[in-house]
Chain A
Amino acid sequence: MGYSFSPETKEKFDVLVTRYPEKKAALIPTLWLAQEELGWLPPEALAYCAELLDLAPSKALSVASFYTMFNLKPVGRYKIEVCRTLSCALCGAFEILDHLENRLGIRVGETTPDGKFTLMTQECLASCGTGPMMQVNGKRYFESLTPQRVDEILNSLA
């Protein structure tokens, strides 16, 4: 086994697993903990999470691959996801996407050669009134984007 949680993460795991009457229910939160540590979910991490919960590693793979937020391949330090569903699209999501592609010199689905940015599209992230928007690393929302605002944000990401 090539991977295990840090003591702090293990502590979090030990608490969360008590929140469910069936261990298996803790799988998605456990995968989150691993992704939090590694930035993505390599097979070793899937296998480790599965083992913690007495599951087959294939179960972890099957579940993780269903959800778009789990990275089964490495991503850049900043994973930028632009919502392209209707409300955002109507107010310029594709313009923002074009801008990001030009600015970063990569296409959707690619990572910059320095490993800093990965650009993706995403479906509705519930920012319909504040589009266009993008999410960085599955956490921060940046809303009401304009190309200028995008530039500022990219510059602020170290």
Chain B
Amino acid sequence: MSFPKILSANWGVPDNHHINVAMSRGQYDVAREVLGGARTPDDITAEVKKSGLRGRGGAGFPAGMKWGFLPKNDPRPRYLVINADESEPGTYKDRRILENDPHMLIEGCILASYAIQAHACYIYVRGEFWHQQSILRQAVQEAYHKGFLGKNCFGSGYHLDITVHSGAGAYICGEETALLTSLEGERGYPRLKPPFPATHGLFQCPTVVNNVETIANVPWIVRHGGDAYSQIGKYVVGPDGRPQVDSRGTRLMCASGAINKPGVHEIPLGIGLMEYIDEYCGGVKGELKAAIPGGSSCPILTADEVRSVEMTYESMAKHGTMFGSGGLIVLEQQTSLVWVLHNLLRFYSHESCGQCTPCREGTDWLYKILGRMLQGKGTEDDLREVLDIADNMEGRTICALAAAATMPTRSYIQKFREEFVSYFVKGGRPVDRRGRYLHPVAPVGAAV
């Protein structure tokens, strides 16, 4: 399928992170025009709404609509906050934008800030991205020196400050309210909602929080028009006049696991997941067993499901999973899913902020039970118990971290129950350090 590369077109261009290189191919032209008076803020929001761009951080909420939630005629300052706390296991795409095209993000920040009339924008970058932060800070400095940021952006009189803010190691800060709390100098605890960030966000002011990739799309959308963007991807209107499929544009997929060519690829939404694996990732390494389509929080897909699912928000939902943050992890037949789940539950236990009881206690409890199972000390009761604990956690907490642990847990057990049951023997089933069965097994069947 032919489609324009929106986000990754210039990756690999030498010195692309320098402003002069970026400007030489037109970066900042749109922002200059817009701030120069060519477009009103509402125009920009309307354009983004028209594009159908959905948030690329995980939840897939329509970006333009999110901007529209900010209260009108509110005297308080407004903030744009960019979520660059990329930390969902399997996801490493925002990192590539920061490394390869920071000015695209900065121009996006300028346009989005203007659209929501924010005069301060914070880019919250995970602390481990020290290298990416240096590139981004350098790029922001360049934009200041050119007069694109500061008191008088592009000589337009518009005032915008962008601050690169470093996190310090906490997955939960990718949750938008936790990110705001952290940005305010606190422990990264998610907040009770309502109130929502649109009315009480950063410093209790109206705030939009967008993912890096989401915002990086904005310059292209404003330059080429929302219509052009919405031509890409898949959009199907149902007989009731409402969209049945609303997955427009391109998105960055991150592939890892049992594939031949791991990497970040820009794809047009709507292609088949198997098509993506075969055409972009060099195919499955070994025999396909399952895949996690959008980061570790997403329920797992069986091999059959991988073959039938399309890369749209809707098709993913229909298959009981989510598009999430685009982190595809492919698993091959010899990999133990009990080991995989154990690994992920350790992650969630480690990353639970500890605020809500069910998540704080439940993630670690599940992890410990899975540990027991791995050693062959599990029973059918344990499986029941795991599902019941998951039930007591999910939807019972302030944020979705508990669900991020329980949704996959449930899906692994439901779809691969036999494999879990096969562990209920003395010593379990030995695996190597990569989670591969030491004694090769026949392919495990799909859903029971």
A touches B in complex, CB < 8 A = yes
Residues in A lying within 8 Å of B, measured CB to CB: 19-22, 24-29, 31-32, 53, 55, 62-64, 66-70, 84-87, 89-92, 94-95, 98, 122-131, 135, 138-141
Tell me whether B435 is interfacial, beta carbon within 8 Å: yes
Please tell me if the beta carbons of A92 and B95 are within 8 angstroms of each other in the complex. no
Residues of B within 8 A of A62 (CB): 187
* A86 partner, pick from B89, B254, B263, beta carbons under 8 A: B89
Q: What band does the interface of chain B fall in when counting residues whose beta carbon is under 8 Å from A?
A: 35 or more
Contact code string B257-293 (vs A, CB < 8 Å = 1, else 0):
1100011100000000000000000000000000010
Contact code string B69-109 (vs A, CB < 8 Å = 1, else 0):
00000000100000000111111101100000000000000
Please tell me if the beta carbons of B434 and A94 are within 8 angstroms of each other in the complex. yes
Tell me whether B129 is interfacial, beta carbon within 8 Å: yes
A62 to chain B, nearest CB (A): 6
Residues of B within 8 A of A69 (CB): 127-128, 168-169
What are 8 A-B contacts with C-beta separation under 8 Å?
A28-B167, A32-B166, A55-B185, A69-B128, A86-B296, A92-B433, A123-B171, A126-B129
Please tell me if the beta carbons of A67 and B167 are within 8 angstroms of each other in the complex. yes
A140 to chain B, nearest CB (A): 7
- Give Cα distance in the complex from A29 to B165, angstroms: 7
- Give Cα distance in the complex from A135 to B170, angstroms: 16
Q: In the complex, which residues 328-372 of chain B have their Cβ closer than 8 Å to any Cβ of chain A?
A: 329, 331, 335, 340, 343-344, 347, 350-351, 353
Residues in B lying within 8 Å of A, measured CB to CB: 77, 86-92, 94-95, 120, 126-131, 161, 163, 165-171, 182-188, 203, 254-258, 262-264, 292, 296, 327, 329, 331, 335, 340, 343-344, 347, 350-351, 353, 433-435
Residues of B within 8 A of A55 (CB): 185
Please tell me if the beta carbons of B434 and A92 are within 8 angstroms of each other in the complex. yes
Please tell me if the beta carbons of A139 and B434 are within 8 angstroms of each other in the complex. no
Residues of B within 8 A of A26 (CB): 185
Please tell me if the beta carbons of B256 and A131 are within 8 angstroms of each other in the complex. yes
* B131 partner, pick from A63, A67, A129, A139, beta carbons under 8 A: A139
Q: Given A63-B185, A129-B262, verify A90-B433 contact (CB < 8 Å).
A: no
The 3 closest A-B pairs by CB, nearest first: A67-B168, A27-B185, A68-B169
- Give Cα distance in the complex from A53 to B331, angstroms: 48
B126 to chain A, nearest CB (A): 7
- Give Cα distance in the complex from A20 to B24, angstroms: 33
Please tell me if the beta carbons of A28 and B182 are within 8 angstroms of each other in the complex. yes
- Give Cα distance in the complex from A130 to B183, angstroms: 29
- Give Cα distance in the complex from A36 to B343, angstroms: 32
Q: Nearest A residue to B161 by beta-carbon distance?
A: A19
B359 to chain A, nearest CB (A): 15
Contacts A68-B168, A85-B296 aside, 11 further interface pairs with beta carbons under 8 A come to A28-B166, A32-B166, A63-B185, A85-B343, A86-B340, A123-B89, A126-B86, A126-B87, A126-B91, A126-B95, A128-B327
Please tell me if the beta carbons of A86 and B344 are within 8 angstroms of each other in the complex. yes
- Give Cα distance in the complex from A10 to B162, angstroms: 21
- Give Cα distance in the complex from A53 to B185, angstroms: 10
- Give Cα distance in the complex from A86 to B343, angstroms: 6
A86 to chain B, nearest CB (A): 5
Q: Given A86-B343, A90-B335, A129-B264, verify A95-B433 contact (CB < 8 Å).
A: yes
B206 to chain A, nearest CB (A): 14
Please tell me if the beta carbons of B168 and A124 are within 8 angstroms of each other in the complex. no
Residues of B within 8 A of A21 (CB): 77, 120, 203
Please tell me if the beta carbons of A126 and B128 are within 8 angstroms of each other in the complex. yes
Residues of A within 8 A of B254 (CB): 128-129
Q: Given A66-B188, A126-B95, verify A28-B255 contact (CB < 8 Å).
A: no
- Give Cα distance in the complex from A135 to B184, angstroms: 27
Q: Given A22-B184, A63-B187, A90-B258, verify A135-B168 contact (CB < 8 Å).
A: no
Residues of B within 8 A of A139 (CB): 130-131
User: Which of A69, A85, A135 has the most chain B CB atoms inside 10 A of its CB?
Assistant: A85
Q: Nearest B residue to A135 by beta-carbon distance?
A: B128
- Give Cα distance in the complex from A122 to B127, angstroms: 13
Please tell me if the beta carbons of B185 and A86 are within 8 angstroms of each other in the complex. no
Please tell me if the beta carbons of A127 and B257 are within 8 angstroms of each other in the complex. no
A13 to chain B, nearest CB (A): 14
- Give Cα distance in the complex from A84 to B331, angstroms: 16
B338 to chain A, nearest CB (A): 13
Please tell me if the beta carbons of B188 and A123 are within 8 angstroms of each other in the complex. no
- Give Cα distance in the complex from A22 to B184, angstroms: 8
Residues of A within 8 A of B163 (CB): 19-20
B81 to chain A, nearest CB (A): 12
* B89 partner, pick from A32, A67, A91, A128, beta carbons under 8 A: A128
Please tell me if the beta carbons of A91 and B126 are within 8 angstroms of each other in the complex. no
Please tell me if the beta carbons of A28 and B168 are within 8 angstroms of each other in the complex. yes
- Give Cα distance in the complex from A28 to B166, angstroms: 8
Please tell me if the beta carbons of B170 and A66 are within 8 angstroms of each other in the complex. yes
Please tell me if the beta carbons of A90 and B434 are within 8 angstroms of each other in the complex. yes
A90 to chain B, nearest CB (A): 5
Please tell me if the beta carbons of A25 and B351 are within 8 angstroms of each other in the complex. no
Q: Nearest B residue to A64 by beta-carbon distance?
A: B168
- Give Cα distance in the complex from A72 to B255, angstroms: 35
User: Which of B186, B188, B255, B264 has the most chain A CB atoms inside 10 A of its CB?
Assistant: B186
B172 to chain A, nearest CB (A): 9
Please tell me if the beta carbons of B92 and A24 are within 8 angstroms of each other in the complex. no
Q: Given A28-B166, A69-B128, A69-B168, verify A130-B433 contact (CB < 8 Å).
A: no
